Amino acid sequence: MTKTPIIKQPLRLLMDFDAQIQRDGHQTSDFIHRRDRKFALHCEEHNSPSDPAHWLAWLGRFDNGSEQLAGTGQSTEQRWQRINSGFIALGAVLGIITMAGLLFYDGGQRINVTVIIGFVALQLLLALLTSLQSVMGWQPWRPLLNRFMPASDPALQPLQPALMARATQGGGLSFAVAALLTLLAMVVTQDLAFGWSTTLNTAASGYHQLTSALATPWTWLWPSAVPDPALVEATRFFRAGTNTALTPARWGQWWPFVSMLWLMWVVLPRLLLRLLASALVRLRTRKLLLCHPGLRALRERMATSVLDTGAGHNDADDLPDTRHNTLLQPLPEKAQLLSWAGAGSVTEEQTLPAALAAICPGQALNVGGLASLSQDQQAIAQLAVSSDAVTAIMLVRSWEPPTGELLDFLDSARHNWPANSRVFLLPLAAETRNPSNTAKDRQLQPWLRFAERCPPGFVTVGDITVNTGLPQS
């Protein structure tokens, strides 16, 4: 049973997958095809997903370099975590300094609420522009980013606008929260005096309408945080002189409005846009992974059987010489019978050559094809019960090229059977009622080439017609 892999973050999964695909570029196509096809069969047998996360976890069970590959995604993830932490720390410091500056009160001029409203509007505008640049793919932070990551991975470049937007939104959220906490701390520890003033000829009624509109989100939650007309009228101040009719105790009654204004129009938008930026990073990362050229090639390899035609080793003129059957070996006197992918099955309206009845009196064990990997292992274990060397004859179809699954089966059998075990591949022609009807030379050539690639002395290609003393009908 496959061990359930650790769920990775989309960014880390993308980088690990891209690193493995780049590493596979140094391997032969036959090797990675056989490997990925075996993974697909493994997933089919155990009814497990064949997604990139399971593929990387499956490769990690055999690959000694998996830790290095995992470090690729981990290092990228840690690098961006450091960038996010830097923005958060910087935002907290700037938030404390900025709010302390806005609320500076020396006992003379009052704190102008109009300035705070304007600063809130500026913060909201910056938050929206940060999200807009990530959606448009604009990278105003490119010079700064090049100082920290001058050699960015090509797979990561399409994500950089969204990643930087997430970092800046995190810094903006830290700025807003730190400023709000500073505001509350100064309200408790100092006697702040608020008022409102503007150079424009603005009546108190118009200013009250503005504050009432801004306070709409929390009117039902905290009614006392909405300035009434009397407070707006009484706390207006001018460049020279003050309203002597107003008692100084009312100058601090603006703080609930200022606190809720900052919470609703600075902290909350930053929080929502930070969540939106994180969701956008995950969405684009998954999209890049699904559109990765390596994933499409991986799916094709998993869905396609591995065929070994023998033509990839050398030129066609270098194929084994089969004109006189000098490379075909006689079959043994006694052997176990295996049927690969249903070769020689009576369901194909075929009957086995009579000569095999004397050699293999037992029933053929079906392996490969529709048989599962566990059934193949059971057949290997069944023949390995005896302490003597295993001698097996495997029936194959001559017109079908050898597959990578067959090579994997023979390799597993070689490691589980006793020493000096041998397997005789017997390519059957399309019609086997007549044992003298052997496969054609052009059909035997891939099988001879396949036997050459197997460990020496373990796999040979046999032929009934070269056996002496065996019945031929």
Q: Which residues pair with 395 in a beta bridge?
A: 339, 426
Could you tell me if 395 and 428 are in contact, meaning their C-beta atoms sit under 8 angstroms apart? yes
Predicted confidence at residue 70, as pLDDT, reads: 53
| Full DSSP string of 442-468 | HHHHHHHHHHHHSPTTTEEEEEGGG-S
Our measurement of the distance from residue 136's CA atom to the centroid of its chain's CA atoms, rounded to an integer in Å, reads 24
The distance between the two most distant Cα atoms of the chain, rounded to a whole number of Å, is 130
Predicted confidence at residue 346, as pLDDT, reads: 47
| Residue ranges in 155-220 assigned as alpha helix (H) | 160-189, 204-214
Could you list the beta-strand ranges (E) of 149-198.
194-195
Among 469, 144, 429, 225, residue whose Cα is nearest residue 333: 469
Q: Which residues pair with 330 in a beta bridge?
A: 463
Pairing of strands 111-112, 329-330: unpaired
Predicted confidence at residue 141, as pLDDT, reads: 66
The DSSP secondary-structure symbol of 393 reads E
Buried b (16+ CB within 10 A) or exposed e, 185-217: ebbeeeebbbbbbeeeeeebeebbeebeebbee
pLDDT (tens digit, 9 = 90+) per residue, 247-285?
566 677 889 999 999 999 999 999 999 999 999 999 999
**Burial classification of residue 1, based on how many CB atoms lie within 10 Å of its CB (0-12 exposed, 13-18 middle, 19 or more buried):** exposed
Count of residues making up the chain = 473
Predicted confidence at residue 84, as pLDDT, reads: 92
Structural domains of the chain, ranges and CATH numbers in brackets: 71-290 (no CATH), 317-466 (3.40.50)
Predicted confidence at residue 200, as pLDDT, reads: 75
Could you tell me if 226 and 219 are in contact, meaning their C-beta atoms sit under 8 angstroms apart? yes
Predicted confidence at residue 244, as pLDDT, reads: 44
Predicted confidence at residue 146, as pLDDT, reads: 66
Residue ranges of the chain with pLDDT lower than 50? 1-5, 65-66, 242, 244-245, 312-313, 315-316, 322-325, 346-349, 432-437, 468-473
Predicted confidence at residue 108, as pLDDT, reads: 65
Among 426, 419, 427, 430, residue whose Cα is nearest residue 457: 419
Could you tell me if 186 and 194 are in contact, meaning their C-beta atoms sit under 8 angstroms apart? no
Among 376, 382, 444, 362, residue whose Cα is nearest residue 407: 376
Predicted confidence at residue 170, as pLDDT, reads: 95
The whole-angstrom separation of Cα 29 and Cα 43 is 21
What amino acid occupies position 145? L
The whole-angstrom separation of Cα 156 and Cα 312 is 36
